Amino acid sequence: MEKLSLCFTLLVILCCKLLVYGQELVGINQLNSFDRLPFRHDVTKVIYEGSIDKKGNNADWDWWLYQDKKGEWVLLDVDGPGCIYNFVVHHDLGVSDPIYRFYFEGSEISAFEIKHSEFGRKFPFIEPLAAKYEPKESVPLFAIVRSFCPMPFKKSCKVTSSEQLRGHASTDGPGGWGHIVYHTYPTDTGVETFNGKENYQPLLDLWNKVGEDQKKIAGNLEEKGNISLKAGGLATIYKKAGTGSVAAIKLNIPEEPTKHLTDLWIRMKWEGENKFAVDCPIGAFFGNELGINDIRYITHGMSVKGDFYCYFPMPFWKSAQIELINKSSTDIPQIAYRIEFNPDKERLYQQGTSMHFRASAYQPPVKKDSLWDSHIATIAGHGHFVSSTITSWANTTCEGDIRVLIDGASTPSVESDGSESWTCYGWGFINPPKNNPVSGFDGKGNPLWSMTRICIGDYYPFHTGLRFSVEGGHGRHSGEDVRSGIIFYYGEPEASMILTDFVDIGDMNSEKKHNYVAKGSVTDSLTSFYEGEFDQIPITDKGRKLSSGSTFKVDISPYNHGIIVRKRSDQGSGRQRARIFVDGKQITERDWYFADSNPYKQWLDDEFPIPEKYTKGKSKIELRVEPVLMDSISNWNEYFYWIYNINK
């Protein structure tokens, strides 16, 4: 038995290492592996494609990239391995019933198609993974569809609409807007292309058991008790030395529980760190700062009856401590608590391959400057974002776009078509209050609302840091909105990516230093803006427009686990595509392809991952870029390159 236990432990450790330095769990396997949320995700990138207002205002409709040869309107076009995790569209079914088609691996024949009216009832786009909502309050009558059904692909993916999703139905079109959130991976290891016949039953079972702990780790122990907290009082409800994992945190406050959502705080500390990993009000921690209705998710939730639960796995390796603090001016006479924890004897969570559960500093309700976004969170280090709760207290609707900047890039990785759409609930309609296993809305209507979005599938990995903000209610200049919020993530304070070199295209000294050659290129100078919060700050840069390609040499670390090449370019014209070579060897996993465009906010920071098999052990590499003609022309251009090493 001891040998079998040892073999199992070694197998788990090996799996952990494969997940960290090889390929991530993908699709159903990721969504169904709740207990693996703490595992590191160093090779995945999250991307959002949707109907943002290209001018930076609030007209977040007109969603298409281009019209293809079949006459279909392309919503997403991506090259390389990846997985769609979230699909949302708003459309007036009184006008038409669009057909959405999904094409994989370059095929001209769609692998799957679904009508707007079929969401929620066409397998596998069924409840609770997918749904259709027709709010009676809206004029005109929009049917809002959402899906969390994972759709992996090994080589490429194109999503189309039979109808042009253009304009607001009350003004200039049939109406239609939305988004797709997806992951990309450096290689296709572990990726099996979606066919609609996968075994969804374990995932459906999990999603139909909201309120129950779905982790698969056996052998939980528990500590429980009852405490009273004086005004300003503090109580330690869990303290443990050694190795283990907090599996569940449960509270019950029999007397007016919603009264204490903002003044009873929970905080936790791992490994005796000086800074608390989590320090926030229980309303934010359990997913709803208002508590008007029962709002429950797979990971955490709350009841107006006083029942609170959190099932996020929280590993530790030296010590753990959880405290409650009464920041109100009145006593809280009775709090029942229960902490479930696992000794983790199988060592599922290895330090280095798994990470600590953490939260951003809680952002209290403050008026935002009319020129800038409402700040929610800024975090440094490496990890992956898994959940956020945002609450509006005054002056704001649900219109504000969610904006997420990752690893210092100036282009948002996520820039949503409204915060309510990012949460996957229409315009924040309150009749009835709504939630599904991973997202929800509660409130009395604008401006008082609270939203939570959980990213179990489409988590947001970051290597050096992440900034999360919300646009003003009706565009960036709409007034002084009042919001509070917090994000939860698995991470550590150290960076897992370092800048090893950069090439300033158009600068003769930089080009000469890097042996840059671009025959037939045309030099160019552009003054424009990046999309997002800072889209009124002009940036001028010199670069080149390419026809026959470019080559240049850059420094890297031989101890890398792959590299990331970031490029600043002009996205005024869309569909930039190029083949990339390292030391004469083509990257076969994908072309560098960006299908979108913006003629108003033209600057784009775009990234290309290069797997470690092309870079491991090398201190210098030569990159060659060969533009690919799209519709008989090349839109490829380059103004600046940054070279980043991915570390352990």
500: burial class by Cβ within 10 Å (0-12, 13-18, 19+)? Answer: middle
| Strand locations in 32-155 (E) | 45-50, 66-67, 73-79, 82-91, 99-104, 112-115, 121-122, 125-126, 130-133, 143-147, 151-153
Longest dimension (CA), the chain: 78
User: Does an H or E element contain 500, and which?
Assistant: strand 497-504
Q: Are 331 and 242 spatial neighbours (Cβ–Cβ below 8 Å)?
A: no
Cα angle value 315/317/323 (rounded, 5°)? 65
Say what the pLDDT of residue 474 is: 64
Domains of the chain with CATH codes: 45-207 (2.60.120), 220-342 (2.60.120.1390), 497-646 (2.60.120.260)
The answer to whether the CB of 114 falls within 8 A of the CB of 66 is no
Task: Measure the CA–CA gap between 437 and 203, rounded to whole angstroms.
Answer: 11
Residues in the chain, pLDDT under 50: 1-23
CA pair distance 142, 91, nearest whole angstrom: 5
CA angle 37–43–44, rounded 5-degree value: 65
User: In the chain, how many H helices and how many E strands?
Assistant: 6, 48
Q: Are 488 and 418 in contact (CB under 8 A)?
A: no
pLDDT of residue 2: 38
Does residue 521 contact residue 547 with C-beta atoms inside 8 Å? yes
Which of 235, 262, 260, 251 lies closest to 322, judged by CA? 235
Beta bridge partners of 184: 45, 82
Residue 508 token pair: 């003769």
At residue 251, the pLDDT reads 97
Which candidate, 391, 400, 405, 524, places its Cα nearest to that of 449?
Answer: 391
Report the candidate in 62, 68, 155, 51 with the shortest Cα–Cα distance to residue 630: 68
For the stretch 552-568, pLDDT in tens is 999 999 999 999 999 99
